[in-house]
Structure 1
């Protein structure tokens, strides 16, 4: 009997160990965030295709030929695929990239270069989600019109395609260099400035395109090899078709169709290297990263890279929570992207070819979104990688004159407001992250806060003490966000003993008082004569110009003083009035007729689908009612994160929406994303263990977490009662164990003892 019990106990331990060892990539679902339930609301704008962590290439299906929305190129609600392009943005609000589209076809296809926009014509094919799969580093779909099974995988600089031709008739693969962001809208003036496809030999093609869109003057070079010989081919420029000639080039609709002698059930593999510098570099990238034709080995390698990247945080939670959590971590690590080729060369922000000695240079910085939680998450989970990002930000300053605002393929596109490279750098400085030059970093943040550049005309701030709306639109949002950046510069100056700079930037950060109207209780826009803009409607939304507020309204920007919350409470007239106003924020309905396309994920006027609201649920901590923070944070996680295609309440924005969930599910969040403080909320995970880069472990345990148990009953840190509403980054780095006891009702006793951060 004893032997039997021992045997059963050993089996139980082995089962637990096997369960714990389940691959983390198995919890990632790349279809989360790829399509709204009703086909109209925001859903995440993510793509399901193959990429590796922080890779240059993202090979994925596109469901429209000229893309505007969703910005990822793939809409889960669409019924047809037009092809597989090699570069994509994840979760952004604006589209771009979609470079070098390939599409296989078979049968008696009549290729018509001019009619591919029409459903059912050209080379578009129907597909079904029942015959489609995706996981980290791999994507597969059956193209129903041609009975072709298409599979995709990727390395850092290359895409790898495997097409199994199960239909009848000739097999061909189209290559389309016209496929892009929509050219039918004037907003980004997208057009092809030049393109070329060249047949090098019976197995090889290469070429380039120069395209301007959201990112200007992007140079995209490619080198592609086929596993089978090309039997014949047709090229097109505009409506002109050329048969079996070696090269085609032009500025409009440059495409080619390559034919292969393939029997039913046979495969054609294609590997495509990309570069932003030259065809030679694209060839070198491909030859370096995919040496043979073992597709499955490349899939396995991509999966291993993802497993390694995800593995320094392990959690215990319900499977649905694990799926949301690790898919979010996956989305967080898709970008920023290493734009340096294997030889270290990349195209800089000044259009000059640069060389990185580390062979790393990152771009795709959606900073207005990601400085809030995504970059703080990098400082916690990937601090060395964060230092690499910062070195890349500083490189733009050195060649361009100021730090990035929104950088795509190393091009500054000036999207959004403020300059939020500043808090990203200062956050790393505050947390003691090594790997970049402090004096050069300070020079960059200071000069980027003094040099007028698009979206930051500091001359008006110095002249008026605010931004007059008729001189600088989005004036309230810019005033508030630049004030936070100024506070960040001041903290950096203080650390380096630069007292005059500290005093200057702290004074400028206080200018937000000049746009606070005590009568209405809101931050409001002014004209240059000092008068408030009338009429004033706090529910009225602004977009990206023509209104004092950026992608939000007066309610959502009311709370944007993350660097001085006690001062904000005083501005409101004390804690009681602050709580009343915050309650009103979460319960005030209305304004539907005034909302814009960025407004989604509502609880009252709280809009989780866009970033200005992201920190506000945690503000109750500062006014002595942390149980309300716990209730709202739990509500947001429950309402706005799911495991289906509509898994996000708005654009995922390069990892920011995911980072909010990852932090909040662990039980804390960086309200001020540049001071090394994490505010406690309502943990969703039973357990999370972080393998810190310094070799230590930090574990968060939440007993009874989940379901109705959303309220913190008590907290301990390393076995000692913990009565703070926050935990410091420096405490986490020491390693240890943070334990929450959770329950279904508020614990007013712990709340009364809990100290908020000052």
Structure 2
């Protein structure tokens, strides 16, 4: 063979193998941003996800809003709606409560409208009809045809900036509306959303800047923007309330908009770059210049997709196309937040509303901890250890300025939504797994202080006095008692690791407080008053919401199983393994009446409600009862019937990655029932293969043979080639790397996983 021939063949092989490697690693193709954006009917929950453009853990989520005053779904976009109001730059993913929707842009033609109109009469405002047949979305990109204006709108994003591309009909009267009054519903009864102040300023014929200060779910948020246009602004209308000012350079007020006019004699699209900051216009400009230095829209799309590809590559799976779409869209949703609010120079607003500087250039927020501590945060500790350290450093900053760790932190501010102190298990889980990047002793002092300083939802003086929460002193008392008992167990584990024996003993004792609300006569945890008397009447099917009932977004049936720190003791309380399993059987089969169901509950299998978090660990409890085949049956049932790749792909609110994390873990075959224990209960894997790329460079691989919707039962298991009969694996097993093999079948093997 000649040297030239060898070179040509080598070049061909390199090119061929490179192309195929790239093809096999193209995981972003499986992201479907429309999953979870709209329920199939009004009686179910939608997932509350948005389809617009974002980057992993970025500040900006540039997405369409189909409602003028978004409320439900909280993402602002409902797949069932027929009109789009505009494109705002910040959104929440999968939450049950709406907020953000900052700095709305909307391109229009023809008559200038400065109010949005209504969905019933879109022609009365700048709103436009759209069709899903002329709408598309992928990682880092969104596109829609605005039918009333014949405008093709495209969106992409970087961490701190949005990038718009509007293709107007040539020769049309082209406008871009900027609406700083667009927000969540200002008429909500349980808080008052209002614009405190806002400003739009035209700097020159290609630049607009401004800000708004708004209070809502997160109080007193400041949002600054700096926008550059690829074409000159020929004229404008500035609007404040009912007053219109032609060709003003500035408008201020609490209800302001602007209509910017452009020449469309040539057919080139209008490009708009918008930088955001929570700190200043100058920082918004710096963010924009740092991240989008040119007008290459398609290049920014490719950059966003490359960032997503890097994150998705942490777990590689084999399965059906639908399974890949659900799995990788789940990772996409899980990595959409927490969001880095710090500017590129490290500036961030602290919980004390003062300007601070982060040396690591990150300050994360959107901590939906009541949801995510269960599985999403353990997923982060597994495949995002550096990010996890960043999350904890950000949580510590709240402690340093505010006095305790986050409960539900949004836009850097504590909003006290939900119960418990679930930054605690997140920090303890990371510390026990050896994640570096934060001071473990300082973290311990923070979690201890956060377990002793009373604040809304956690009155520790009451906890210390009664050793349970009396319902007449603290609503949601049963749920709070159970969840705080778990948090105290977590504090005890880190105290033990650090050799703090007295603290360990104290918090272990507190972790048993749940027993004080167990009623042997009914077999449930139920409420007591401050005199120690049971609160009557009692019906275990009655649902609570977020106050006025002993249970939080659930009922006595669902909270019966919440003792993840000590399932063996819970089994003893219920009379042993047989009685425990019988009670579980009843739980999964008893029906209740629709009128008794709380609005957050959906995805029912008996009393099990997969659409909300209190149920998420319960399918795995049969393992502890000595009947693992029932865990396998119900886990497979949830995986195969309560997830799909459509707009109604979730059985409830996706809740900042928690619903997705349940699927990601469970589809691989295991789940963290106790999210701070380093133990994963085995369920029923449905993926042919899953390879977890660990930060150490090692790989943990799960292979599943014969998995199908029929073959849901484990026949045999091997770990690193050796027979394995335990119903759980440990963090150490994963960290060591290796291979876990499952063989599945249509009938249960009642000998596997049961002590012989």
TM-score, normalised by the number of residues in structure 1: 0.96
Change (3 A) 1:349 1:249: same
Aligned residues of 1:166 and 1:266 also touching (Cα < 8 A): no
How far apart are the structure 2 equivalents of 1:99 and 1:380?
33
How far apart are the structure 1 equivalents of 2:268 and 2:702?
52
Q: How does 1:452-467 map to 2 (within 5 A)?
A: 452-467=454-469
Which residue matches 1:537?
Answer: 539
Change (3 A) 1:627 1:137: same
How far apart are the structure 1 equivalents of 2:354 and 2:301?
34
How far apart are the structure 1 equivalents of 2:412 and 2:742?
44
Q: Deviations over 1:542-568 (max 9, x none)?
A: 000000000000000000000000000
Tell me if 1:187 matches 2:190: yes
TM-score, normalised by the number of residues in structure 2: 0.96
Greater CA deviation, 376-385 or 601-610? 376-385
Deviation at 1:272, TM superposition (A): 0.2
Q: Deviations over 1:353-396 (max 9, x none)?
A: 11101101100000000000000001111111111111111110
Which residue matches 2:673?
Answer: 671
Tell me if 1:645 matches 2:674: no
Greater CA deviation, 321-330 or 255-264? 255-264
Deviation at 1:226, TM superposition (A): 0.5
How far apart are the structure 2 equivalents of 1:481 and 1:654?
20
Query: What secondary structure sits across from 2:631 in the alignment?
Result: helix
Deviation at 1:118, TM superposition (A): 6.0
Which residue matches 1:562?
Answer: 564
How far apart are the structure 2 equivalents of 1:51 and 1:18?
26
Which residue matches 1:584?
Answer: 586
Q: Residue 322 of structure 1: which of 314, 317, 324 is its match? A: 324
Aligned residues of 1:146 and 1:167 also touching (Cα < 8 A): no
How far apart are the structure 2 equivalents of 1:112 and 1:322?
43
Corresponding residue pairs, total = 741
How far apart are the structure 1 equivalents of 2:169 and 2:730?
58
Q: How does 1:542-557 map to 2 (within 5 A)?
A: 542-557=544-559
Q: How does 1:112-123 map to 2 (within 5 A)?
A: 112-113=114-115, 115=117, 119-120=121-122, 121-123=124-126
How far apart are the structure 2 equivalents of 1:189 and 1:177?
17
Query: What secondary structure sits across from 2:535 in the alignment?
Result: coil
Query: What secondary structure sits across from 1:357 in the alignment?
Result: coil
Which residue matches 1:745?
Answer: 747
Which residue matches 1:601?
Answer: 603
Which residue matches 1:5?
Answer: none
Which residue matches 2:524?
Answer: 522
Aligned residues of 1:223 and 1:273 also touching (Cα < 8 A): yes
Q: How does 1:381-460 map to 2 (within 5 A)?
A: 381-460=383-462
Query: What secondary structure sits across from 1:706 in the alignment?
Result: coil
Which residue matches 1:715?
Answer: 717
Which residue matches 2:208?
Answer: 205
Which residue matches 1:71?
Answer: 74
The root-mean-square deviation of aligned C-alpha atoms, in Å, is: 1.5
Aligned residues of 1:452 and 1:459 also touching (Cα < 8 A): yes
Change (3 A) 1:243 1:20: closer
Query: What secondary structure sits across from 1:520 in the alignment?
Result: coil
Q: Residue 54 of structure 1: which of 57, 60, 77 is its match? A: 57
Q: Deviations over 1:614-643 (max 9, x none)?
A: 000000000110000000000001111001
Q: Residue 96 of structure 1: which of 95, 99, 114 is its match? A: 99
Deviation at 1:116, TM superposition (A): 5.8
Query: What secondary structure sits across from 1:139 in the alignment?
Result: strand
Aligned residues of 1:363 and 1:410 also touching (Cα < 8 A): yes
Q: How does 1:157-168 map to 2 (within 5 A)?
A: 157-166=160-169
How far apart are the structure 2 equivalents of 1:480 and 1:509?
9
Deviation at 1:115, TM superposition (A): 4.6
Q: How does 1:128-167 map to 2 (within 5 A)?
A: 128-166=131-169
Change (3 A) 1:39 1:127: farther
Tell me if 1:231 matches 2:262: no
Q: Deviations over 1:668-696 (max 9, x none)?
A: 00000001000000001110111110011
Aligned residues of 1:106 and 1:167 also touching (Cα < 8 A): no
Unaligned runs of 5+ in 2: 1-12
Q: Deviations over 1:193-246 (max 9, x none)?
A: 000000000000000000000000000000000100000000100010000011
How far apart are the structure 1 equivalents of 2:121 and 2:432?
54
